[in-house]
Structure 1
Amino acid sequence: MTANAQRAFSVVGREAAEAASAPEGGTEIAIDGASKTFRRGRMETHALDGVELTIGAGEFVAIVGPSGCGKSTLMRLVAGLLPPSSGRVVIGGETVDGPYTNLGIVFQKPILLEWRTILKNVLLQTEMRHRKDPGLVDRAKGLLAAVGLEGFENRFPHELSGGMQQRVAIVRALIHEPPVLLMDEPFGALDALTREQMRIDLEELWLASRKTVLFITHSIDEAVLLADRVVVMSPRPGKIERIVDLDMPRPRGLEGRKDPDFIAAVESITQIFLARGVLHGGRKGPKLVSA
């Protein structure tokens, strides 16, 4: 972790410091045979089919798959925003039946309120939960500093770049210290350089808190560089095609792409998508190894 991030996290408090050193910072998620079918009139769309997946407490799991394979639908089932057609989701031993509140969610767009300052956008999460814990403002400022936004607390969203706004959205999702963080293509709308830096920043934040993270992405590279395990989804109806375990040292940062395990994992996942017709390699030229 950078010196600035270390100083920022020092103001978060003893609870966060304890979480940083403990692998049990998150809560287990169990997806038990979850399927989802959408019906509209006589039309049916079978989005997910019998997904079985357990995400350990404090584990970072990335899901990668083609558009329309049900990745985002699966995340919404975990959040309780959609009911499964069959099967169930269990978080921390509790079956999810309706919106699950003890988690943080980051979507592809930051969805900030333009009339509120950055600090007040972050604190909106705690206001809606009627929390008035002492130190919340300091915690918000500390997290903003940890993602490079120290001094921007009183700015408004239109004064920030897209990448900066998405950092605010991540802080907002973390301010109430949820044990579970769901992220649905959070970097998808960012330019390549900003996306790379956001990945590095997210890994630092995760290493400091050990939340249970379910991360949705289309990027094979991003999934491998961030996750403990990568879940590869098949085309619709979405099923788990394969789970790739990763044992690369952390933090992975920019050096992670040089790791032989990274190269092997990207190649393995790419070959799955080539075999399923999701990717199409040319007849000539080097083998495709990245998405």
Structure 2
Amino acid sequence: MLGINIQQVTKRYRRGGLETTALQGIDLQVQPGEFIAVVGPSGCGKSTLMRLVAGLHGVSSGSIEVNGQPVTGPVSDVGIVFQSPVLLEWRNTLQNVLFQADMRGLDVNEYKERAMQLLEQVGLQDFADRYPHELSGGMRQRASIARALLHNPPLLLMDEPFGALDALTREQVRLDLEKLWMTTKKTVLFITHSVDEAVLLADRVLVMSARPGKIDRELKIDLPRARGLEARRDQRFFDACDEINEIFFSKGVLSRDVVAEVKARAA
């Protein structure tokens, strides 16, 4: 398992002579095996934070360590899941999962058994020979999660992976992801716009401010695992969602009408 240590990280972008500060003064420690969700308004730097941890972008100031090692370039021991599954249309499901081995120069034949095990874990064992156009949106996203896990990375970075899914499919994939995480106990950094999703999945939820993004609040979620459908009826779920939405209201991200609607659902 990998831990993450972020100290006073700031990220600035310069384009056309203009400088934009995406993140400012981020401090965060993630314990090995912890599931962390990050929520915040659009443009607050959530995805930027994930890319910095992955080493896909460099910090402007401050430092990031993954497993005690400074991040100075792309981190190899990591699995990344984006909002779009990005499956190759000419490869079937199994071949798409095995593409992770191809990219890393690994012996594909040695990973076929693991790929099939992962497909079984995400409920796609009967769709190994299907092509992306034959899969539903939820199936494609499950395949992308299996692909990210093929090389057994201790760290999983997920950037709004359910954003393109309908409500029912999101709920099912959320349940699948929690089950998978409880089995593997990988360290997860999960970026989302959904307050419900963050509360239902995470050990801790980080609430970010508008740009320049800062960690405004940290909430520990004490809902018992596993958090099935019944977790949505738990008062602790409503309380946590209400607290996060009140933060967004106080910052002008949400209107009072939206906060009132959330409270009405909890009543």
Equivalent in the alignment of 1:21: none
Deviation at 1:130, TM superposition (A): 2.2
Equivalent in the alignment of 2:154: 179
Q: Tell which deviates more after alignment, 213-222 or 41-50.
A: 41-50
Deviation at 1:131, TM superposition (A): 2.2
What are the ranges of 5 or more consecutive residues in structure 2 without an aligned counterpart?
none
Deviation at 1:135, TM superposition (A): 5.2
The answer (yes or no) to whether the contact 1:281–1:288 under 8 Å persists in 2 is no
Provide the rounded CA distance (Å) in 2 between the counterparts of 1:43 and 1:179: 38
For residues 177-232 of structure 1, what are the alpha-carbon distances to aligned partners after superposition, in whole Å with 9 as ceiling and x for unaligned?
00000000000000000000000000000000000000000000000000000000
Q: 2:100 aligns with which of 121, 125, 128?
A: 125
The correspondence of residues 190-229 of structure 1 with structure 2, limited to 5 A, is: 190-229=165-204
Answer yes or no: is 1:164 the counterpart of 2:146: no
What are the ranges of 5 or more consecutive residues in structure 1 without an aligned counterpart?
1-25
| Shift in alpha-carbon separation, 1:252–1:131, aligned structure 2, 3 A | same
Answer yes or no: is 1:288 the counterpart of 2:258: no
Provide the rounded CA distance (Å) in 1 between the counterparts of 2:30 and 2:13: 25
The answer (yes or no) to whether the contact 2:98–2:108 under 8 Å persists in 1 is no
Equivalent in the alignment of 1:144: 119
Equivalent in the alignment of 1:276: 251
Higher helix share: 2
Q: Which amino acid aligns with 2:184?
A: S
The count of residues paired between Structure 1 and Structure 2 equals 264
Equivalent in the alignment of 1:35: 10
Equivalent in the alignment of 2:56: 81
Task: Classify the secondary structure of the residue corresponding to 1:130.
Answer: coil
TM-score (norm 1): 0.88
Provide the rounded CA distance (Å) in 1 between the counterparts of 2:151 and 2:260: 48
Provide the rounded CA distance (Å) in 1 between the counterparts of 2:68 and 2:260: 48
Equivalent in the alignment of 2:38: 63
Identity of aligned residues (%): 58
Answer yes or no: is 1:154 the counterpart of 2:129: yes
For residues 139-181 of structure 1, what are the alpha-carbon distances to aligned partners after superposition, in whole Å with 9 as ceiling and x for unaligned?
1111111111111111111111111100000000001000000
Pairwise CA RMSD of aligned residues? Answer: 1.5
For residues 105-157 of structure 1, what are the alpha-carbon distances to aligned partners after superposition, in whole Å with 9 as ceiling and x for unaligned?
00000001111111011011112222238752121111111111111111111
Task: Classify the secondary structure of the residue corresponding to 1:131.
Answer: coil
TM-score (norm 2): 0.96
The answer (yes or no) to whether the contact 2:2–2:31 under 8 Å persists in 1 is yes
Provide the rounded CA distance (Å) in 2 between the counterparts of 1:106 and 1:112: 11
The answer (yes or no) to whether the contact 1:48–1:239 under 8 Å persists in 2 is yes
Runs of 4+, deviation exceeding 3 Å: 285-290
